């Protein structure tokens, strides 16, 4: 998600790229982070069952 937002346009210089990265990272909400963590643990649990660990 963040990668596609950062690289959706070509930047004239590194400062513009840096600014875009900072803006995108600042726009990530706590709910988004919680969803990512929840999905990580769901997938981790699945693979633990599949691999028997």
pLDDT at 3: 62
1 within domain boundaries: no
Q: Distance between CA atoms of 31 and 10, rounded to whole angstroms?
A: 29
Q: Is residue 6 part of a domain?
A: no
The DSSP symbol for 41 reads H
Domains: count for the chain: 1
Q: Is the pLDDT of residue 4 over 90?
A: no
Q: Residue 10: its pLDDT value, please?
A: 83
Q: Is residue 7 part of a domain?
A: no
Mean pLDDT in residue range 12-22: 92
Is residue 39 situated within a structural domain? yes
Please give the model's pTM, rounded to 2 decimal places: 0.55
* Domain hosting residue 34, numbered range: 14-51
Task: Please report which helix (H) or strand (E) contains residue 31, including its range.
Answer: helix 30-51
Residues 6+ away with beta carbon under 8 Å from 30: none
Please, which pLDDT band fits residue 8 given cuts at 50, 70 and 90?
A: confident
pLDDT tier at 44 (50, 70, 90 boundaries)? very high
35 domain residue, yes or no: yes
- Report yes or no on 27 lying in a domain: yes
Cα(30)–Cα(4) distance, integer angstroms: 19
């Amino acid at each position: 998600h963040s990668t596609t937002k950062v690289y959706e346009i070509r930047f004239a210089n590194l400062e513009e790229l840096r600014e875009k990265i900072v803006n995108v990272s600042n726009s990530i909400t706590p709910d988004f982070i919680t969803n990512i963590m929840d999905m990580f643990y769901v997938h981790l649990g699945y693979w633990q069952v599949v691999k028997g660990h």
